[in-house]
Structure 1
Amino acid sequence: MSSSINLRAVDALDRDAFVQTFGSVFEHFPQAALGAYEKRPFASVSALHEAMMNVVRHLDVDAQRAFLNRHPLLSGANVRAGTMTADSDAEQNSAGLGELTSEEDALLERLNAVYLARHGFPFIVCVRHYTREGIFSAFERRIARSTRDELDEALAQIAAITHARLNARLS
């Protein structure tokens, strides 16, 4: 299937093809596509995205945390090693995380450890909306917030990330 399809074609996909096409929009969570499939037809890309986001929003808190823990840490080492999904790799590369200095790498590793220990899930940010410096600033600011606020923020960031991914597939 072409990487660029229109909504009428989306609505015509059978369940397996729909999940194959959109199952990777949400990091290691094809259930978002599976749940959205039942909501066809879609009036817009935003409606498709909202149907997928609603699957995540309706998970209980423990399941949301498990979902968030499927996301990779922001990491220059991960970018250089190529150990992430193609989407995550491209997104983190777009923010220059593959070109961090050794000091920035060490700082990012420390921030990841502190955030993860405090909140129980990785720091998630739509890196395309930030400069490298902005990512570090957001990281430091968000560590001190409540875990409930961070869970909400992580889901908002996931919404931005996945909307961009979905637009890329449907452009």
Structure 2
Amino acid sequence: MTEATLAPDLNLNAINALDLDDFIAEFGSIFEHSPWVAEGAWAARPFASIDVLHGAMIGVVRSAPRATQIAFLCGHPELAGKEAEAGTMTTESVGEQASAGLNALSKGEIGELRELNARYLDRHGFPFIVAVRRYSKREIFEQLGERIERDSDTELNEALSQIGTITRLRVQAKVSA
């Protein structure tokens, strides 16, 4: 790995100089368990800005076939779900869920969230995804209840939009302007 990849905050010049393997090493975890997103975005270099970098990455996801998008969504953890209990979520997801208080739910809240998550998954075929850093715990519960009732095409688009918000924050945290 090059010296540039060891910096905690990468700048655009360093990013644009990364070879494919180093680029995947740096950005492969931005999209939950999906290094193929970084791999697909690498060819869009040079990136003129953080927005262009993120846009290339989200473009890879948006242009993927629907079945790939659904499989991608299914790779995301449920809110306060089995991955949280087992300690198998990514570091990013742990911090994001904790920021909304989802790591400190009451027994009643855990039960309600599990029931809502199960209904959502049964209806849409992928887990509920929300940019938790943007909402309070109560707002997250309200959104989940409301979004269960949407049609699955609308909800697929919303889930991808939420991932866009989540990953934009992740890229921003990683890249210095």
Q: Normalising to structure 2: TM-score of the pair?
A: 0.94
Where 2:46 maps in the other structure, the secondary structure is coil
Task: Give distance in 1, aligned partners of 2:43 and 2:88.
Answer: 32
Deviation at 1:77, TM superposition (A): 6.0
Gaps of 5+ in 2: 1-5
Distance 1:30 1:77, change over 3 A: closer
Partner of 2:168: 163
Partner of 2:9: 4
Aligned counterparts, 1:82-97, within 5 A: 82-97=87-102
Partner of 1:114: 119
Gaps of 5+ in 1: none
1:37 pairs with 2:42: yes
Aligned counterparts, 1:59-70, within 5 A: 59-70=64-75
Counting matched residue pairs gives 171
1:137 pairs with 2:142: yes
1:17-63 Cα deviation digits (max 9, x unpaired): 00000000000111111111101001100100000011101111111
Q: Is the 8 A contact 1:42 1:48 kept in 2?
A: yes
Partner of 1:98: 103
Q: Which amino acid aligns with 1:125?
A: V
Partner of 1:147: 152
1:95-141 Cα deviation digits (max 9, x unpaired): 10010000000000000100000000000000001000000000000
Q: Is the 8 A contact 2:81 2:114 kept in 1?
A: no
Task: Give distance in 2, aligned partners of 1:149 and 1:77.
Answer: 26
Where 2:160 maps in the other structure, the secondary structure is helix
Q: RMSD over aligned Cα, in angstroms?
A: 1.1
Deviation at 1:83, TM superposition (A): 2.0
Q: Is the 8 A contact 1:124 1:157 kept in 2?
A: yes
Deviation at 1:2, TM superposition (A): 1.5
Task: Give distance in 2, aligned partners of 1:57 and 1:100.
Answer: 33
Deviation at 1:3, TM superposition (A): 1.9
1:125 pairs with 2:126: no
Q: Normalising to structure 1: TM-score of the pair?
A: 0.97
Q: Is the 8 A contact 1:77 1:105 kept in 2?
A: no
Task: Give distance in 1, aligned partners of 2:85 and 2:127.
Answer: 19
